[in-house]
Structure 1
Amino acid sequence: MKALVLSGGAGTRLRPITHTSAKQLVPVANKPVLFYGLEAIAEAGITEVGIIVGDTADEIREAVGDGSEFGIKVTYIPQEAPLGLAHAVLIARGFLADDDFVMYLGDNFIVGGITGLVDGFRAERPAAQILLTHVPNPTSFGVAELDAEGRVRSLEEKPERPQSDLALVGVYLFSPAIHEAVRSIKPSWRGELEITHAIQWLIDQQRDVHSTTISGYWKDTGNVVDMLEVNRSVLETIEPRIEGTVDEFSEIIGRVQIDAGAEVRGSRIVGPAIIGPRTVVADSYIGPFTSVSENCRIEDSEIEYSIVLRDSSITGVRRVEASLIGRSVEVTPAPRNPAAHRLVLGDHSKVQISS
């Protein structure tokens, strides 16, 4: 069995961060979102992985390399434009050959991995298997309608009037039957080859399409709110570890990781939180659910429920919360404007000014 990981999207909902960085490499608990997916694939016993790349291909290649760090072998597959998930399957035909495969969206996050799902698919081998979860806003997702026995009756991409609240999670399992399906569909009104249309084609052809409704944690990390929520979720699972230096005037409370080379002086850190390598925290407060990456400096400031990317500094800022701060950013107080009144008054005016 192989894996196809999609890492070619533009990440418009995470701008301005994704103007200069691939959305799949934005870190959660100081590790890129993409890495969690690759680790889950490796844990499921899959070693051959194709990664669909687009405009951020060089950055993805630099971060992932040949895959050996994850125990996998990576093949990079360029996609000239984000033309849909089914298009990714179409252009990966040479890599996938006639093997079963799991398709994993590189900006999705699933707690608990995919090993059980992969094992079940290997045992039953339907034409396709999809993951579903209940969502409050199904119009934003691909939506599945099930029959009374729980079989997939129909799929629709971002419907105006959803038939259910069951959204497709960004993990799919396919037999080689999907290749005929993606060749048989036409682009949607969005100009994309939709994977929902390809799976619907399988259903219409009386092919066996299974579904699994998950109750565990899943997020599409496509926007800042979801990134912060996933960061919170991961930080809740960390174990305390102090490898850096903490002076006697500092207080560390709860599950806090301080990586090697980090330095904490005269500060209070309340976990769960992570302080990355070679980061300095001085005379500051780091609140729960905060990840500070490597080579950062937090001085005379307060920050909580936030993600700070590498090489950034926050100095003299009293309160930062629910924020995503990019790489090599400097956050400082605004200069104070002088307290003065500028007046243009006509003759015989009377003015009262509150000082």
Structure 2
Amino acid sequence: MKALVLAGGSGSRLRPITHTSAKQLVPVANKPVLFFGLESIAEAGVREVGIIVGDRAAEIESAVGDGSRFGLDVTYLPQEAPLGLAHAVHIARDYLGDDDFVMYLGDNFIVGGIRALVRRFQTERPDAQIMLARVSDPRAFGVVEVDGHGRVIALEEKPERPKSDLALVGVYLFTARVHEAVRRIKPSGRGELEITDAIQELVDAGCRVDSVVVSGYWKDTGNVADMLEVNRLVLDGIEADCSGEVHSSELIGRVVIERGATVTGSRIVGPVVVAAGSRIRDSYIGPFTSIDSDCAVTDSEVEYSIVLRGASIVGVRRIERSLIGREVEVVSTPGMLRSHRLVLGDHSKVQVVS
């Protein structure tokens, strides 16, 4: 079995962060989301991985390399534009050959990995096997109808009137029969080759398509709220480790201070991770916060947030539920009463107290 990992999307819902970084490399608990997926694939016993890359190919390749750090053998497959999940299968045809494969969306996060899913597929041998999750608003997802045995009856991409609350999770298992289905479908109204249409082709051809409803936690980390929620979940499982320098400070609960980080005159309430090279001084860092490498937080309060590499926060009374980008500077201006001075990139979102 091989794996096909999709890491070519534009990440429009995470702008402006994704103007300068691949969405799959935005970190939770200071580790890129993509890495969790690659670790799950390796843990399931799959070794050969094709990664679909787009405009951020160089960044993805620099971060993942040849895959050996994960125990994988990685091949990069360029996609000229994000033309749909089934299009990714189409361009990977030569790489995949006639092997079974697991397709994994690189910005998805699944607790518990995919080992059990892969074993079930290999044991029961359906033509395709999909993962489903019950969601409150299915209109934003591919929606699936199943019979009483979990066999797929019908699929629809982002329907206005969903026929069920079962949404496709970003992990799919296929035999080589999917390639013929992909060849038969046409672009949707969005101009994309939809994987839902390809799976429907399999169903219409009488192929066996099984489903598994996710019992654990799953998130598509395509927006800030979901990124923060996944960050919370990962941090909730860490163990305390103080390898850095801590002076005149109070660490409460599960706090990780990596070697090379410095904390002075501050109070940190875990779970919190502070990466190497970062400096926390005269500040409060609250639960479910991850601070990446080479950041500086001075005379400020930060809680339930993700702070990316090289960011600086100085004299800010309170930051929470925020995603602070790389090399960002956030500073207070006490002399400028009743005004805000902002320099914001395209697609930014700012909430202020007026």
TM-score normalised to structure 1 length: 0.94
| C-alpha contact (below 8 Å) 2:151/2:208 kept by paired residues | no
Q: Paired residue for 2:232?
A: 232
Distance 1:337 1:154 in 2: 59
Q: Paired residue for 1:29?
A: 29
Q: Paired residue for 1:308?
A: 307
Distance 2:162 2:333 in 1: 47
**More divergent stretch after superposition (224-233 vs 146-155):** 146-155
Distance 1:45 1:332 in 2: 48
Give the partner amino acid of 2:302: I
SS of alignment partner, residue 207 of structure 2: coil
Map Cα deviations across residues 45-88 of structure 1 (whole Å, 9 max, x no partner): 10100000000001000000000111001000000000000000
SS of alignment partner, residue 328 of structure 1: coil
Distance 1:106 1:312 in 2: 25
Map Cα deviations across residues 263-295 of structure 1 (whole Å, 9 max, x no partner): 110000000010000111000000000000000
SS of alignment partner, residue 129 of structure 1: strand
Q: Paired residue for 2:278?
A: 279
Q: Paired residue for 1:147?
A: 147
Q: Paired residue for 2:87?
A: 87
Q: Paired residue for 1:218?
A: 218
Distance 2:24 2:336 in 1: 41
SS of alignment partner, residue 256 of structure 2: strand
**How far does residue 134 in structure 1 lie from its aligned partner after superposition?**
0.3
Q: Paired residue for 2:263?
A: 264
Q: How does 1:1-355 map to 2 (within 5 A)?
A: 1-247=1-247, 249-337=248-336
Distance 2:147 2:15 in 1: 40
Distance 2:233 2:134 in 1: 18
| C-alpha contact (below 8 Å) 2:52/2:78 kept by paired residues | yes
Give the partner amino acid of 1:301: S
Structure 2 spans left out of the alignment, 5+ residues: 339-354
Distance 2:117 2:217 in 1: 15
Distance 1:272 1:236 in 2: 6
SS of alignment partner, residue 75 of structure 1: strand
Map Cα deviations across residues 214-254 of structure 1 (whole Å, 9 max, x no partner): 1210000000000000000100011111110111x200001
**How far does residue 338 in structure 1 lie from its aligned partner after superposition?**
6.9
C-alpha change, 1:264 and 1:198, in structure 2 (3 Å) is: same
Percent identity (aligned): 69
C-alpha change, 1:59 and 1:240, in structure 2 (3 Å) is: same
**How far does residue 337 in structure 1 lie from its aligned partner after superposition?**
3.1
**How far does residue 307 in structure 1 lie from its aligned partner after superposition?**
0.2
Map Cα deviations across residues 88-141 of structure 1 (whole Å, 9 max, x no partner): 000000110000000000000000000010111111111100000000010000
How many aligned residue pairs are there?
338
Distance 2:189 2:142 in 1: 14
**How far does residue 6 in structure 1 lie from its aligned partner after superposition?**
0.1
**Which has the greater radius of gyration?**
1
Distance 1:194 1:107 in 2: 18
The alignment yields a C-alpha RMSD, in angstroms, of 0.9
Structure 1 spans left out of the alignment, 5+ residues: 340-355
Distance 2:148 2:212 in 1: 15
Give the partner amino acid of 1:206: G
SS of alignment partner, residue 215 of structure 1: coil
SS of alignment partner, residue 317 of structure 2: coil
Distance 1:233 1:316 in 2: 29
Give the partner amino acid of 2:162: P
Distance 2:326 2:290 in 1: 13
**How far does residue 334 in structure 1 lie from its aligned partner after superposition?**
2.6
Distance 2:217 2:149 in 1: 25
